[in-house]
Structure 1
Amino acid sequence: MPKRLLLAVLLIAQTMASMDGSIANIALPAIQRDLGATGATQQLILSAYLLALASLIVTGARLGDLAGHRRAFRWGLALFTAASLACGLAPDPVALVAARAVQGAGAALLIPQVFSLIQHHFQGAARRRAVGLYSMVLALGVALGQLLGGLLVSADLFGLSWRPVFLLNVPVGILLLAVIRRMPPAADAAGPVGRAPARRFDVPGTIALALGMGAFTAPLTLGRESGWPWWSWAALGASAALLAWFLRHQTRAKPPLLDLAVLRPPGMKPGLIACAVVMGCYAAFLFAFTLHVQDDLGWTPLAAGLAFLPYTIGFGTMSLTWARMPERAVRALPVAGPVVMAAVAAAVATGASPWALTPLLALAGAGHAAGYSPLIARLSDLVPPGRASALSALNSTGPLVAQTVAIAAMGGIFLAAGLVWALGATAVVLLAGAGCAAIAQRAGRSSAAAVGVSLGRWTVGLGRLRPGERRDDRGDQDCERHDRGQPQHQLERARPGVEDRVQDRRERGRGDGDRRDRAPDRADVGGAEQARCHARLDGAHGVAGGADGDAEPDRRQSGIDHRPPGDREREREHGAGQQEPGTAAVDQVAEQQRRRGAGDGLR
């Protein structure tokens, strides 16, 4: 499958999953009229999807590691499509709530695989562009959901009222399932490169995380409308205890449900916090602005959805162009983006005119893309493909939790104090996010440099091995140093006495004119040492046995034989059948290098 087609499939599926988090908002009045849903049921129709998604998304990422990302993507897409059909055909509110919960479970299995498959199939500049498009659909799915929901409900296609809002996913999902069957089998690669993933599943961790996320999300989603009853505070306390136990359990679980080692690279933690802040503040801004234009300005739902079209254009333009900018500009974008969003939020809060809203929203969309896309692309470069699923889980869970908290907090401020205070608080949080992005950028540059040096040394070490050879961790320290690509002078320093013996032999050879028996120079020492490593890596992990092998450790360790040529010839004739293949190869290569050095001296 061409990579562009693969990327299109992944992004369309991600767009559907992102849109369904908000597309039902516009349809709620029509659902209430058609099915007679109460106020509490309407809340459950909106929150069931979010609760299931937040509770199961980390589990979905782990299932991708176990079953393969392509297979898990197909499962999630099939479940999401079937649940969308059930939503569109729901005969009563209870059935619709249940179908929405299943739809959220399908999205939780689908969403983590999108980022993981991008990590596995794209590298370098292509990965940057793919991550930019991914972040675009991830962020704009909410706005597009409101816009498309308003269009479909207003059109009343075939007299179905609100049902096409969900039924639209069915033909698209079936088409994507047909195309995804052509995805290459390599897409099922999971776990660290070259190592099969552990097949055990952390059941206690899965239960604790699902209950903890559900207990955290439910009161924030339903508590505000219910007046924050006692059960909401009890659920938040239980959530804190469950999530704390889960994090402690992950340090001991073998294998863990969530690989927390992904947080070790410098800059990873503040970078993920900055991404979550930007996404959460975007959700808060969208929520407050939509209520403002509908309740205070009297706009229709369709007009409120169309009002965010400039935001979409600004976000899309920046997402498609930032990868082509100079490196210095790219490094500045994650900090400048939240600052621009904060400035726009402050301008809208102070009463910007309707004519000024269009350029302001376009600028806010560009700032959103600048604050998210380059930063998550840089963070993905710090993580090997084997941990892409863990980063995907964190990158999906963090913004999801941030959006839930932001809507609950900023929504409460908006309803209690108005637009000015809500957007003012959003601007302050965005400035804090810009500070986290600055810390992540500063730490990420040093970490990226260290990763580049390590990869360079590793590549040099592989270049010293012959084709077909593999790394052998059972070799001694010298072979391991060759594998890591350390300079030759460090090898000689690691073997005390070798450099001194080589220098003494060189001086002795110059004094008596015995060019044939003189020691090889530093390059020859390195060549013999490399040949010894090659022989070990070919499978000869031992040395010549017997008392003779124990009597001459210097010759075994350095690849240099200090005995007269006659003794060497007699030993080869007498013990050719007793030496292991690795030692014979070492002696043959070392002898060829000594003869080459003698010929150079005669010339």
Structure 2
Amino acid sequence: MRGVLPVLLSAWFMAQFDFFVVNVAAPAIEHDLRAGPAALELIVAGYAFTYAAGMITGGRLGDRYGYRRLFVYGVAGFTVASVLCGLAPGAAWLVAARLLQGLAGAVMVPQVLAMISAVYPPERRGRAIGWYGAAGGLGSIAGQVLGGLLLTADVFGLGWRVIFLINLPVGLVVVPLARWLLPEADPREAVGFDLPGAAGLAAGLALLLVPLGLGNSLGWPAWTWGAMAASAPVFALTWWWQRTLAARGGQPVLDLGLLKVHSYLAGVGAIVAFMAYFASFMFTLTLLLQNGLGLTAFQAGLAFAPMGVLFTVTSLLGTRLVGRYGLVVVMVGGLVTALGLALLVVGAGRGLPYIMVALVLVGAGNGLVLPRLIGAALVEVAPHQAGIGSGVLSTAQQFAGAGGVAVIGAVYFAVAEGGHHARAMRWSAAIDLALILLVVAMVAYNRRRAVRKASAAGSRRGA
């Protein structure tokens, strides 16, 4: 099993890196390709649309055809799409390539968690999932820091194109290593694929994610509200079809059995709250640093570095601490993050040194929280549900991130009108604080369940 985890995590890191790095490169892309506002929004957010909309289907395909096969196909497709992004001669080409990149990510990413859940025994799975969370968080922060560094260095004179072309050598290494190192995972018995369910989920998510991603920049025109309203009947019809198909003995794209796993539902809720906070925090903090404090994109990226370092350190320590003390470590991490956010609520306008202290606390707390949230959600999920379970988790992450940026970003822009960026950061940090406290509450619920389960098991053994 040696080498399995680095191969899997390299793909996950790459997917998260590409999600965030385009924000740093957006001005250069706009200038070089003469991209209008709508095209630029699609270049930035189009990846998230197709990535989130296809994630559940990607997880189900892995359950059916085998995790290794889908992982290899996903990495190969992601690499090709990245090269197409880097070679884009115009904005329309880049938009199409980003949509393709998101679809490839939706095939690739669910297999990472699914293989970890299916391959690693329970006593080793927690550590592996901890590394998964750490790699995802580092990929997010590296998109801000490393992206700014690559653009400033202008590697090989490629400009913004290097942020996509850097995936080529990664893909050329990961694909053969995956075929060589990853264990063969037999597909489940052949059954018909739930195409109506997959299409309904994708359509419903698109009707929500597209207006959430574009609404702020377009001023929330009527069609954005109409699309979000239309998502409700689409989801209702899809839910009805899922229940009908399950009652007939078919295999719906959503495994309804997951809804009976209370720790999984609480884990999904915690991840939704965390990602809504985390994505919006990264977005609004960038606005504060660049528009409020006048830092360049590279300087703003460097301001995230201490948070990234603390995140890395506490992520590595957290696995051992959780193994010894349990989910109480995650709760402590959430409270440390809450303290950092509270500092911003009361003093976002006190200058960069004060903000950096708050960021150190936020990074340290996040490192104890994020890697363990995923493990806490999947602990009671059966191995044969690993693909769809991880697909739903990943979809929830992306949807929560897009929704958090849209809603909390709208609050920030409304308060910041007239140059009041510090006040806007205080308001957005207050919402983020409420979200992280909700995460702590969800984790406390799962901890109570774990304690009760361990106590019941001890009583049975004693009897």
TM-score, normalised via structure 2 length: 0.92
Instruction: Give the aligned partner of residue 84 of structure 2.
Output: 86
Aligned to 2:409: 411
- Cα separation, 1, equivalents of 2:57 and 2:204: 13
**1:293 maps onto 2:289 in alignment:** yes
Instruction: Give, in angstroms, the shift of residue 148 of structure 1.
Output: 1.7
Structure 1 stretch 244-253 or stretch 137-146: which is displaced more? 244-253
Name the counterpart of 1:346.
342
1-structure distance, mates of 2:210, 2:458: 44
CA 1:206–1:447: 2 relative to 1, 3 Å:
farther
CA contact (8 A) 2:133 2:372 kept: no
- The answer to whether 1:283 aligns with 2:275 is no
SS at match of 1:252: helix
Corresponding residue of 2:68: 70
Match of 2:51 in 1: 53
1:379 counterpart letter in structure 2: A
Alignment correspondent of 2:222:
230
Q: Which residue is 1:433 aligned to? A: 439
Unaligned residue ranges in structure 1 (runs of 5+): 191-195, 458-486, 488-603
> Does the 8 A contact of 1:267 with 1:440 survive in 2?
yes
Is 2:344–2:355's contact at 8 Å kept on the other side of the alignment? yes
Pairwise CA distance, 1:353: 4.4
Partner of 2:117: 119
Partner of 2:100: 102
Tell me how far apart the structure 1 counterparts of residues 294 and 368 of structure 2 sit (CA, whole Å). 32
CA distance in 1, matches of 2:17, 2:322: 33
CA contact (8 A) 1:88 1:166 kept: yes
> Partner residue of 2:233?
241
Instruction: After TM superposition, give the deviation of residue 323 of structure 1 in Å.
Output: 2.4
Letter of the 1:239 counterpart: S
Cα pair 1:25 1:46 within 8 Å, conserved: yes
Answer yes or no: is the 8 Å Cα contact 1:262–1:383 preserved in 2. yes
Secondary structure of the structure 2 residue equivalent to 1:181: helix
- 3-state SS of paired residue (2:159): coil
Aligned-residue offset at 1:84: 0.4
| Higher relative contact order, structure no. (Cα contacts within 8 Å, ≥ 6 residues apart) | 2
CA distance in 1 between partners of 2:182 and 2:175 (Å) = 14
Query: Aligned residue for 1:421?
Result: 427
Query: Identity of aligned pairs, percent?
Result: 36
1:308 to 296, 304, 307: 304
Structure 1 residue 198, shift from structure 2 partner: 4.4
Q: CA deviation at 1:231?
A: 0.7
329-338 or 60-69: bigger deviation: 329-338
SS at match of 1:197: coil
C-alpha contact 2:306 2:359 (8 A) present in aligned 1: yes
Letter in 2 for 1:189: D
SS of alignment partner, residue 373 of structure 1: helix
Shift of 1:27: 1.3
Q: Could you list the per-position Cα deviations for residues 366-422 of structure 1 after superposition, in whole angstroms to 9, with x for gaps in the alignment?
A: 212322323322332211211111220121011111111110011011111111111
Given the alignment, which residue of 245, 257, 273 partners 2:269? 273
Counterpart code for 2:319: A
Provide the C-alpha distance between the structure 2 equivalents of 1:448 and 1:383, rounded to a whole number of angstroms: 17
Q: Separation in 2 of the partners of 1:155 and 1:74? A: 32
Higher helix share: 2
Rounded Cα–Cα distance in structure 2 between residues aligned with 1:322 and 1:453? 30
Instruction: State the AA in 1 paired with 2:294.
Output: G
Distance of aligned partners of 1:250 and 1:145 in 2 relative to their CA distance in 1, 3 Å threshold: same
Q: Which residue of 2 aligns with 1:467?
A: none
RMSD: 2.1
Unaligned runs of 5+ in 2: 416-423
Structure 1's 443 and 291: CA in aligned 2 closer, same or farther, altered over 3 A?
same
Q: Quote how far apart the aligned CAs of 1:48 are.
A: 1.0
**Correspondence for 2:392:** 394
Deviates most, 47-56 or 149-158: 149-158
Aligned partner of 2:418 in structure 1 is none
**Structure 2 CA distance for partners of 1:184 and 1:428, relative to 1, 3 Å:** closer
Change (3 A) 1:264 1:286: same
Equivalent position amino acid for 1:255 in 2: Q
When the two structures are superposed, what TM-score results if normalisation uses the length of structure 1? 0.71
1:336 shift after superposition: 2.5
* Aligned length, in residue pairs: 449
Whole-angstrom distance in 2 between the partners of 1:432 and 1:307: 27
